[in-house]
Structure 1
Amino acid sequence: MEKPVQQDTAIQTDLYAKFFHGLSNPTRFRIIEILLDGEKNVGQLVEMLGQSQSQVSNQLACLKWCGYVTSRQEGKYVLYRISDERVRTILDLAKSIVADNAEHIRCCTRM
């Protein structure tokens, strides 16, 4: 028995919402911004973010699991980087839209 088209659409919608939810956490968003400038290890990210190693590692695990970042071993360090350059495009577009609507977004009480 085939699934109804409406169910497939709902599944896709949930998947897209989860994708954007991955960027909704301020720490994850900032990690992505930092990694757009190049590879970093956890220690560098900890220093730049001013957060604990466990907090940063937890957010990196989420970003890696969902495909935003990838890692590679170099000596005793694990270096993280953006896994797909299209992430840069998404962030650039988001920043442009936010710039045009910042006050409305800032004041929104419905999200």
Structure 2
Amino acid sequence: MDAQQRNQLAALFHALADPTRLQILEHLKIGEHKVKDLTEHLGLAQSTVSAHLACLRDSELVSVRTQGRASMYSLNDSPQLEQVLSKAGELSRPGITAHHWNEQHPHAEAEK
């Protein structure tokens, strides 16, 4: 993994590390939203929601387009996010052990 990939991955984890940003992503899974709609759904100030959206934009999880005076946000297709969520799902399965993980991912031990 090169420095650029590490930086992109760090930005992704930072974006996913906040419950409010996860809530925003849940809303955007349904479809495109105006900032105003998100502020109403979340019960937060517009400036707070905008700051969270900026973080999500920086990590390339969402995109924005202008429609008149409104900013419309939508979820980007993110293979990187899908991979992270898939691995997180594997790790959260009950009964998974380090031995079991290493058997299924032998290359992971070699990368250490």
Give the TM-score band, short-chain normalised: 0.5 to 0.7
Tell me which moved more, 22-31 or 81-90: 81-90
Q: Partners of 1:50 and 1:98 in 2: how far apart?
A: 33
What TM-score do the two structures reach when normalised by structure 1? 0.66
1:30 to 20, 23, 28: 23
* Structure 2 equivalent of residue 59 of structure 1: 52
CA drift of 1:44 comes to 0.4
* Unpaired segments ≥5 residues, structure 2: 95-112
SS in 1 for 2:60: coil
1:20 to 13, 31, 42: 13
1:71 to 60, 64, 67: 64
Identity %: 34
Residue identity matched to 2:22: F
CA spacing shift, 1:56–1:13, aligned 2, 3 Å: same
Given that residues 24 and 38 in structure 2 are in contact (C-alpha distance below 8 angstroms), is that contact kept between their aligned partners in structure 1?
Answer: yes
Q: What's the RMSD between the two structures over aligned residues?
A: 2.8
